[in-house]
């Protein structure tokens, strides 16, 4: 380790701490895929993170961490770690729009900051975190393919519809349309956007949100409302799993709202299995 800390010391991590941080995320590389992806793509440099990563030490070893940006994500935190990060967060003030991660850690963190950070817009508890590391259990939809820039006029409205339906507000609010369109285009350019089109109309889509050598996390799964109930989600996700496992990462993960029974049934048919429970708190 490049800089020794004292017992239970918390400090901001930087590029010199990258190897230690990657060793920490490797303890559960699928659950920690977002934090590891951010570390690999930014080198833990705050200017590229748009925030900070805090590390907590026990006996001079990095024992837990917390990604603090637009998303606040605990990494390998027990309740004591989460409480310590919460105490630091209270002193600094809220800079994040979403808290998300394993339920025990998020719940402990929230109990420490909730009275000071204001009322959240929504709290979603017990979200099943699902993984698949083998062949899908249903036949992949052969019509699902990577999207291209030429698909953007059909893809972007579907992304807005999915986001609004899932989050409860439009990503275009407060002048956010250009930023969100840029994000959609970034995923297309990376080869992380997948869709099925019927006669030029998008009827199914999903994206990879983040990926590491160990895992990829899928987001934005959406079926056109008038085509739901036809099995497009199951066969479409089977195609996404097949493509992602062959060309991006060997394990595919996602998390879903506990109350979304149709989606949970679709993922179960594909072969996803629950590995954890997440909590998401949105402001």
All structural domains of the chain = 10-118 (3.40.630), 132-276 (3.40.630.30)
Q: Which of 13, 29, 33 is nearest to 21 (CA)?
A: 13
Q: How many CB atoms lie within 10 A of CB 27?
A: 10
Averaged pLDDT, groups of 10, the chain, 283 residues long: 56 97 98 98 96 94 97 98 97 96 98 95 97 98 98 98 94 93 97 97 98 98 97 98 98 98 98 98 97
Per-residue confidence (pLDDT) for residue 59, from 0 to 100? 87
Per-residue confidence (pLDDT) for residue 3, from 0 to 100? 43
> Over the range 50-89, which residues count as b (16 or more CB within 10 Å of their CB) and which as e?
ebbbbbbbeeeebbbbbbbbebbbbbbbeeebbbbbbebb
Residue 227 token pair: 């085509």
Per-residue confidence (pLDDT) for residue 60, from 0 to 100? 87
CA 202 – CA 224 distance, rounded (Å): 7
CA 29 – CA 214 distance, rounded (Å): 6
Between β-strands 215-223 and 251-255, what pairing exists: parallel, antiparallel or unpaired?
Answer: parallel
Angle, CA 220 vertex, CA 163 and CA 128 arms, to 5°: 105
Instruction: Write phi, then psi, for 279 (nearest 5 degrees).
Output: -125, 135
The residue with tokens 């990095």 is: 62
The DSSP 8-state label assigned to residue 187 in this structure reads H
Per-residue confidence (pLDDT) for residue 212, from 0 to 100? 98
Say whether 150 sits in a helix, a strand or coil.
helix
């Amino acid at each position: 380790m490049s800089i020794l800390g004292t017992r239970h010391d918390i400090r901001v991590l930087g590029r010199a701490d990258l190897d230690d941080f990657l060793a920490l995320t490797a303890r559960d590389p699928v659950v920690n895929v977002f934090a590891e992806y951010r570390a690999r793509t930014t080198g833990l440099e705050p200017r590229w993170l748009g925030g900070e990563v805090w590390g907590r030490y026990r006996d001079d070893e990095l024992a837990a961490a917390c990604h603090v940006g637009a998303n606040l994500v605990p990494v390998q935190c027990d309740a004591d770690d989460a409480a310590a990060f919460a105490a630091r967060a209270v002193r600094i003030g809220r800079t994040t729009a979403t808290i998300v991660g394993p339920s025990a850690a998020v719940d402990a963190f929230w109990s420490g900051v909730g009275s000071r950070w204001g009322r959240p817009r929504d709290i979603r508890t017990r979200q099943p975190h699902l993984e698949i590391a083998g062949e899908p259990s249903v036949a992949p939809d052969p019509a699902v393919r990577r999207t291209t820039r030429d698909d953007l006029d059909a893809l972007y409205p579907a992304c807005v519809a999915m986001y609004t339906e899932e989050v409860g507000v439009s990503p275009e609010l407060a002048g956010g349309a250009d930023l969100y369109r840029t994000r959609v285009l970034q995923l297309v350019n990376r080869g992380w956007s997948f869709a099925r089109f019927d006669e030029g109309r998008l009827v199914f889509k999903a994206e990879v949100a983040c990926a590491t050598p160990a895992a990829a996390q899928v987001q934005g799964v959406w079926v056109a409302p008038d085509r739901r109930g036809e099995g497009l989600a199951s066969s479409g996700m089977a195609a996404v799993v097949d493509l992602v496992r062959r060309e991006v990462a060997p394990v595919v993960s996602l998390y879903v709202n506990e109350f979304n029974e149709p989606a949970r049934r679709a993922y179960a048919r594909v072969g996803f299995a629950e590995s954890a429970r997440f909590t998401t708190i949105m402001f």
